[in-house]
Structure 1
Amino acid sequence: MIRQRKQRAAIRVPGKSPSVEKDARTWAKPGDPSMKISVVTDSASNLPRDLAEQSGITLVPMILKFGARALLDGEDMPPGEFYKALVEEKVAVSTSGPSAGDFKAAFERALADADGVVCVNVASFVSATYSTAVSAAKDFDGRVRVVDSRSASLGEGFVALEAARAGASGADLDTVVARAEAVRDQMCFAATINTFEFLRRSGRVNALLAYAGTALNIKPVFAFRGGKIEQLGRPRTRARAIDRLVEEVRDASARGPLHLGVAHADCEEEAEQMLARLKAEIPNVETLISPFTPLMGAHTGPGVLGVAFFS
């Protein structure tokens, strides 16, 4: 029997303890303190369960098919155990989003003690999850609004987190949606992968391209930004790939202190080192570190390292 282990995150605000804390700034407009808007998001957001629970966010698990097993993402297999099995077992892996029924059930639970719900989903250009949530929301007479994060991992997670913060301040449904969309429009999630092997296995790249990338030791760097995926570089060492990620964050910091979130697929030490470097070099409002759930790493394998940021 696999025992479930909770993912844990640390959000750090300068001058405060490293435990999970709210952002020091208030983003939402003053509202009716009796108003309650809840937030729902899918597990591709990579928000650790303890942070989601503390923020009042409902996580709807996506589905990971691992060989003959169908697993609820983030619930049925801890990330570390999954990546070990992914390397050793070499079985077919596929993913799918929650059903409309899954979203309806989550919306009903959230509305049991809320006036409205904002649902934040993984980018619509990489998954049908957003359209499924939109379909499910039609049954709730406008009390459920769905936001396309146009991102993934902590890029999506920060959009949900900021929506929850706005809702907690008493903001109404329109204001919470507006805050989520404002964060989405500023968001960048940049990442690098360590190997083409798992993309080849999943059919995301053909064998020839995977072989060429591996032979040349290419470590591609890409970003979810502005509703599309951008290629940021094709360095040939891991160190240069990480440098490129830091450079991207540094450029964005010219606009002011950043919210920073580092996500990783079974490379926690590198993630901690990169976060320490970012904190030392770049003014920040808060920092967050979280493992990729199995679903997010299923097609890329271990070694993915990414950073989400917005001002």
Structure 2
Amino acid sequence: MKTAVMTDTNSGITKQEADVLGIFLMQMPVIIDGETHYEGLDLTHDSFFAALTGNQNVSTSQPSPGDVMDMWDEILNSGYDEIIYIPMSSGLSASCEAAMGLALDYDGKVQVANNHRISVTMRISVMEAKHYADLGASAAKIKELLETNAFNSSIYIAVDTLEFLKRGGRVTAAGAALGSVLNIKPVLTIQGERLDAFAKVRGMKKAKLRMIEALKNDFETRFQGIPKERLRLGAAGAGLSAEQEKEWTDMLSASFPEMDVYYDSLSFSISCHIGPGGYGVGISVIGEYDL
């Protein structure tokens, strides 16, 4: 059985990485002033944030059915027997449910895993899928393994500006204005299904410390007793400078010296809703790899 692994750019995996890893990558669409662009294809990190912070109208969308099926057909016609597709969590986008509907026409050759993850935790699921595929697992078996382990993850995101939450209707204009005056930084969390409010603190330094405190609590409660070799810790950020990225990963490494911390930029789909200057962190539990 030759099973292809496919995901989208919400995993934090770039096209260059995907090519090296042997993973197929769907670039997520971004609409800027009514024109559709694709993350990492014809829309760079710098040009995306320039549009987001400028006077342009920026929104995100799920991939078109045609684009999804064209990629599936191309993969299946290139020597693969099956595909395991890992899109962003169904709780955050309709793209997962839409893909499941499209897969019904493929007689089981395409399996869509709803792994309830995004960003740094979604990356780990993709890497797990690739490991299973290399061991000869079928797409259906990989889907089962990923979904069994789906909720064994945790994400926290600190938002630097309330402007983009206001645009998305998550806070009122008055609330955003007051929050800006008081230097309020919301900390959000993703525990599987959706993005929820977690805490409000003053200043980004306190927001980072609050996320680290939340992670330590997760280690001591939800993930207690799990061997460290089965835990993965990922840092993330939206529009951060190289210096800011290093400062954040160094802070996490100092707080969790037993962990190797990796870094991914937050996808455009997430950054569009939280704005630049946001910080994120996620912890994932990997499976036992028993087939």
Instruction: Check whether TM > 0.5.
Output: yes
Once the two structures are TM-superposed, the CA of residue 97 in structure 1 deviates from its matched residue by: 0.4
Q: Secondary structure at the match of 1:76?
A: coil
Structure 2, unaligned stretches of length 5 or more? 286-291
Report the counterpart of residue 235 of structure 2 in structure 1: 262
1:92 to 50, 54, 57: 57
1:102 equivalent to 2:67? Answer yes
Asked whether 1:302 is paired with 2:267, we answer no
Query: What is the distance in 1 between the residues matched to 2:169 and 2:35?
Result: 19
Letter in 1 for 2:59: S
Q: Give the counterpart letter for 2:154 in structure 1.
A: C
Secondary structure class of the residue paired with 1:74: coil
Q: Contact 2:233–2:261 (CA<8 Å) still a contact in 1?
A: yes
Moved over 4 A (4+): 283-286
| Mean CA deviation greater in 214-223 or 50-59 | 50-59
Tell me if the contact between 1:37 and 1:118 (Cα under 8 Å) persists in the aligned partners.
Answer: yes
Output the TM-score relative to the length of structure 1.
0.81
**Paired position in structure 2 for 1:67:** 33
Identity of matched residues, % = 29
Matched-pair contact (CA < 8 Å) for 1:40–1:106: no
- From the superposition, tell whether residues 225 and 172 of structure 1 become closer, same or farther in structure 2 (CA, over 3 Å): same
SS at match of 1:148: coil
TM-score (norm 2): 0.87
Partner SS for 1:235: strand
Amino acid at match of 2:58: V
Secondary structure of the residue aligned to 1:263 is strand
Counterpart pick for 2:245 among 261, 268, 271:
271
SS of equivalent to 1:185: coil
Instruction: Give ranges in structure 1 of 5+ residues lacking alignment.
Output: 1-34
- Alpha carbons 2:188, 2:197 under 8 Å: kept: yes
Q: Alignment length, in residue pairs? A: 276
Greater CA deviation, 294-303 or 236-245?
294-303
Deviations 1:54-110 (A, max 9, x none): 2222111221111243211222121123213322x2221111100111111121222
Partner of 2:94: 128
Deviations along 1:36-68, whole A, 9 cap, x unmatched? 221111222221223222222211122111124
Q: Verify: 1:180 aligned to 2:146, yes or no.
A: yes
RMSD: 2.0
One of 252, 265, 268 as aligned partner of 1:291: 265
Which of 80, 86, 102 is the aligned partner of 1:114?
80
Q: Which residue of 2 aligns with 1:13?
A: none
**Secondary structure in structure 1 of the residue aligned to 2:174:** helix
| Equivalent residue letter for 1:156 | M
